[in-house]
Structures are given as structure tokens and as C-alpha cells.
Amino acid sequence: MDTLARKIEIALFFSCGARAIVAPQAGGDIRVINPYDAEVGGADSAARFQMMAQTAADAIVSADPGGTIVFWNGAAEKMFGYSADAALGQALTLLMPERYREPHRQGFARYLQSGTAHLIGGTVEVHGLTREGHEFPIELSLSVWNGTQGPCFTAIIRDISARKMIEMALQQKTAELEKANLAKDHFLARMSHELRTPLNAIIGFTGTLLMQLHGPLTHEQVAKLNTIKASAKHLLSLINDILNVAEIGSGTVALHPEPISCSDILAEVAASLRPEALKKGLLFEVAPMPQDIQVHTDRRILSQILSHLANNAIKYTEQGQVGICCNRRKENAQHYVDISISDSGIGIAPEDQRRLFQAFTQVDTSNTRRHGGVGLGLHLSRELATLIGGVIRVQSEFGRGSTFTLTLAEHLP
Ligand SMILES: Nc1ncnc2c1ncn2[C@@H]1O[C@H](COP(=O)(O)OP(=O)(O)O)[C@@H](O)[C@H]1O
Ligand SMILES: [Mg+2]
């Protein structure tokens, strides 16, 4: 017998004037047992039940067919502030706020007349009323059985004030956090915008100075201007990443899906990154595709993800090669496209692979500090991939190299 049923048994026993015990049976039926019957252990059993009911943490209250309180335990006394003497013989409605009283009377009358019950057998969250007139939230389980004069009712009542307060505090905190998060994203989006404008001016004017349109420059001046330009470009790419994260967070990224040829987009990404790879003396190759593979997605986002992944591959590889390949695959009647970017670089240890995609995460700060970056690229790539319905997986061997694979649904024309 579960604890609820046991509690009902105890409560019902006392509510029937210690003459009969009412035991819930499997299937919900209620059986009336004489407490002095050998079946439940006689007087010992009665004493045991009395003790358990009195010490139960939940309030146990029973009423006769007229709705008058006939049993009141210690927890009820504490919860509602009425002593047993004050509560016994009173109407059950004493324990409820005014607004519940009429519906309660109607429900009671309906049950007596037709046997139709809405609350009986279940648990509901309502409010109780203390002797001082203070309302508090309760969880109420109601049961009924047939006494000698008609149906009797037993309520097991739990004070859920503490739980409700925690729930409310949690809801409030969640709402505050959501608001703060949104405010942060708006702030970042705005700030990034404001920061980009002067940076673009710096990059642009450094460029015109380097073109020596305003007069010749010394070697040293050219070197310094190149440093300014490279730093400004680096800063701009960081700001762009932050702007992107903020945009995704605030849910304002608009998607413009279109059919895209994978060989075209891979050629574009490769063209922009090949010079960087060649500068480091790396072999940089896009594997030829036997046939054209198409995806249907946002071009700018796809290009951004692939550029991030290829950029990392070059950044974290000191010698050897970086390769890009694209394959189609069928799984469970679905056609997928895997775009993989492999390198022969430093690789990533298994324990680090799990946290790679968290924002501002860099695996080995001493190593990565040398390479620059703030650890946003992979986080952003995964967020962007999710946005276009794709996934990014990583396979890597420490010291040998890594392969990052973006999987998208294939577009079948
Ligand atoms: N191809 C790769 N090979 C080895 N390590 C990588 C590779 N790509 C990413 N990582 C590791 O994952 C970390 C997070 O990458 P990312 O989010 O792009 O940040 P960032 O490049 O700015 O450091 C990097 O700092 C690096 O430690
Ligand atoms: Mg990166």
C-alpha cells in the first residue's frame, strides 16, 4: 500500500469514531474494517494508527456527510491554527477562503445527490485559510467512503507555501535573466555597430596612405602602416564575431535560403583563404567532386561557417596540409551532405573536444595566445549551423590533426 493510501486508511479510521477502519483497495474501492477485528491487529493496531495520524506531517481532516469536521490531527492544528476542540464540529468551509465556499457547497450537494465528484480521488492545488484569516497555498487530496450515515470525506492537506515561494522566485529570476540577456545582446549589437564604423575608416585611410596617393613613404612607415591595418582588421573580425553572437542571441538573424552549389562555395572560401595557407607553406586543396552537390541554405551563413573552420585549420597547423572535401550520403532515406575540413595540425585531446564549442573557450591558452583569437569562432559556427539546420562534428587526434565536418540536408533539384 502506498503512503497516500496508508494515510487515508489512518484518517478514515479515526473519522469514523474508532468503530470502523476504511482501507482503500486495489482499484480504488474502499473496504470498511472493524478496527478490533483480528484482520488489522485489534487495539494495538488502533493505537498505532492513532499515533501515526497524529504525528503525520500533513494535515488530515475528515468530515461527516453534513460537511462537519469529525477528525483533526496535530498537523492540521499547526497549519490552520485551530485546536482540535475548536475545529471539531465546525463546517469544513471554515478552512477555505470565501470564494471557494459556494462552489464547495455545490460540489458537496452534487456528490450527495448524484455521486458525481470532481476533486475526489485526485490532488489539487488550492488555498487554505488560517484562523487569523491568512490564505496559504495547499495541495489537497480528497477521498470519500460510505459511513453509516452516508458518505464521509477525508482530506490530506500539505502546506506548499515554501514550494510556491521557491517556484515564484525561480520564475522571477528566469524572467529577469531573460531580460538581462536580451538587454546584453541588444547592447552588444549596438556597440559592435558603433565600433565598426570608425574601424572601417581606419582600415580605409591606412589603405590609401599605403597606396602612397598622398606622397611617398619610407620602408619603416609602410611597415608601421601595415601593422596598423592588420591590427584593425583583426579587431574588426573580432567585433564581427561578437556582433554575430549577439544577433543570434537576440533572434534577429534573417535567413535567405537559396540553392547553392557546393563546389562554387568551396572554391570561394578556398580563394579567400589560400594566400594565408601558402604564406605558412601549407598545402591547401579542395578535393574534386565527381558531380555537383547542392544544398538549399543561406549563402552568407554557410560561407561564414566554412571560413571559420578553414581559418582554424590553417591557424592551428604549422606544417603539412589543409584539405576540404564534400560528400553526399544517404541515411534512413535522407540525403545528407558532409563538408569536411581536415588539417595535419596540432590536434585536440579527447577531453578538450567536448568544450571546444563553448563561447570564449580556447584549448591551450599558451599555444592559442600565439595565434590570437578569443575562442568565439567554433561557438559561433555551431550556433550558425543550428540556425540553418546543420550540425558540426569534430574528429581529432592530439598532435596529428583534426577534421571538422558540417552536415546539411542535400538539396535535390
Ligand atoms: N583545427 C584545429 N586544430 C586544433 N585546434 C583547434 C582547431 N580548431 C579549433 N581548435 C581549438 O579550439 C579552440 C576554439 O576555437 P575557436 O572557437 O575558433 O576560437 P579561436 O580560434 O578564436 O581560438 C581554439 O582556441 C583551439 O584551441
Ligand atoms: Mg577560430
| Least distant ligand from the CA of 245 | 1
- The CATH number given to whatever domain includes residue 236 is 1.10.287.130
> What is the reported pLDDT for 367?
57
Whole-number Å distance between alpha carbons of 298 and 257? 4
Q: Average pLDDT for residues 30-53, to the nearest whole number?
A: 55
Q: Which of 66-80, 105-119, 334-348 has the lowest mean pLDDT?
A: 105-119
- The CATH number given to whatever domain includes residue 65 is 3.30.450.20
149 & 13 share domain: yes
Q: Average pLDDT for residues 265-282, to the nearest whole number?
A: 95
For residue 342, what are the β-bridge partners? Answer: 323, 403
> What is the reported pLDDT for 371?
62
- The CATH number given to whatever domain includes residue 273 is 3.30.565.10
Q: Which atom of ligand 1 lies at the shortest distance from residue 379's CA?
A: 17
pLDDT tops 60 at residue 369: no
36 & 107 share domain: yes
268: CA distance to ligand 2 center in Å?
A: 19
> What is the reported pLDDT for 115?
78
Query: Could you tell me which of 322, 308, 312, 301 has the C-alpha nearest to residue 408?
Result: 301
45 & 147 share domain: yes
**Which residues span the domain enclosing 197?**
165-249
Number of domains in the chain: 3
> What is the reported pLDDT for 39?
42
Is 45 or 240 the better-scoring residue by pLDDT?
A: 240
pTM: 0.60
Q: Which atom of ligand 1 lies at the shortest distance from residue 347's CA?
A: 4
**DSSP secondary structure code for residue 46 in this structure:** H
115 & 170 share domain: no
**357 CB within 6 A, ligand 1:** no
110 & 191 share domain: no
316 & 178 share domain: no
Whole-number Å distance between alpha carbons of 314 and 218? 32
Q: What Rg value do the Cα atoms of the chain yield, rounded?
A: 37
Is 246 or 380 the better-scoring residue by pLDDT?
A: 380
221: CA distance to ligand 1 center in Å?
A: 33
308: CA distance to ligand 2 center in Å?
A: 6
**373 CB within 6 A, ligand 1:** yes
Q: Which atom of ligand 1 lies at the shortest distance from residue 345's CA?
A: 3
pLDDT tops 80 at residue 358: yes
Q: Average pLDDT for residues 316-322, to the nearest whole number?
A: 96
pLDDT tops 80 at residue 214: yes
Q: Please calculate the CA angle 353-357-361 and round it to the nearest 5 degrees.
A: 90
DSSP-assigned letters across all residues of 378-405: HHHHHHHHHHTT-EEEEEEETTTEEEEE
37: CA distance to ligand 1 center in Å?
A: 77
What type of residue is 78? K
Q: Which of 63-72, 106-115, 300-309, 341-350 has the lowest mean pLDDT?
A: 106-115
Whole-number Å distance between alpha carbons of 162 and 196? 50
Q: Average pLDDT for residues 396-407, to the nearest whole number?
A: 97
> What is the reported pLDDT for 20?
37
Select from 192, 223, 249 the last residue of a domain: 249
Q: Which atom of ligand 1 lies at the shortest distance from residue 343's CA?
A: 1
150 & 47 share domain: yes
pLDDT tops 60 at residue 22: no
245 & 290 share domain: no
Query: Could you tell me which of 374, 372, 379 has the C-alpha nearest to residue 305?
Result: 379
Q: How confident is the model at residue 366 (pLDDT cuts 50, 70, 90)?
A: low
Q: How confident is the model at residue 183 (pLDDT cuts 50, 70, 90)?
A: confident
- What strands, in cross-sheet order, belong to the sheet with 401-409? 283-286, 321-331, 334-343, 401-409, 391-397
| Residues 351 and 313: beta-carbon distance below 8 Å | no
Select from 134, 159, 184 the last residue of a domain: 159
93 & 144 share domain: yes
pLDDT tops 90 at residue 242: no
What type of residue is 189? A
Q: How confident is the model at residue 37 (pLDDT cuts 50, 70, 90)?
A: very low
Q: How confident is the model at residue 391 (pLDDT cuts 50, 70, 90)?
A: very high
- Helix axis angle, 299-315 to 262-279, nearest 10°: 30
Q: How confident is the model at residue 120 (pLDDT cuts 50, 70, 90)?
A: confident
Whole-number Å distance between alpha carbons of 42 and 21? 11
Whole-number Å distance between alpha carbons of 326 and 342? 11
130 & 59 share domain: yes
> What is the reported pLDDT for 13?
43
Mean pLDDT of the chain: 85
Q: Average pLDDT for residues 48-52, to the nearest whole number?
A: 75
pLDDT tops 70 at residue 31: no
**E-only strand ranges, 292-350:** 294-298, 321-331, 334-343
Other CB atoms closer than 10 Å to residue 254's CB: what's the count? 6
Whole-number Å distance between alpha carbons of 374 and 394? 19
Characterize the bridge pairing of strands 69-72 and 59-63.
antiparallel
> What is the reported pLDDT for 319?
95
343 & 391 share domain: yes
**341 CB within 6 A, ligand 1:** no
Q: How confident is the model at residue 1 (pLDDT cuts 50, 70, 90)?
A: very low
145: cell is 467512503
| Residues 140 and 124: beta-carbon distance below 8 Å | yes
Whole-number Å distance between alpha carbons of 73 and 64? 16
Q: How far is CA 76 from CA 62, 86, 115, 129, 289, in A?
A: 11, 12, 27, 12, 78
> What is the reported pLDDT for 116?
76
> What is the reported pLDDT for 237?
84
137 & 78 share domain: yes
Query: Could you tell me which of 309, 326, 313 has the C-alpha nearest to residue 282?
Result: 313
**385 CB within 6 A, ligand 1:** no
- Helix axis angle, 299-315 to 377-387, nearest 10°: 150
Question: How many residues can be counted in the chain?
Answer: 413
> What is the reported pLDDT for 336?
96
Select from 202, 231, 249 the last residue of a domain: 249
Q: Which of 364, 366, 367, 378 to mutate to test the pocket of ligand 1 (most atoms within 8 A of CB)?
A: 378
**62 CB within 6 A, ligand 1:** no
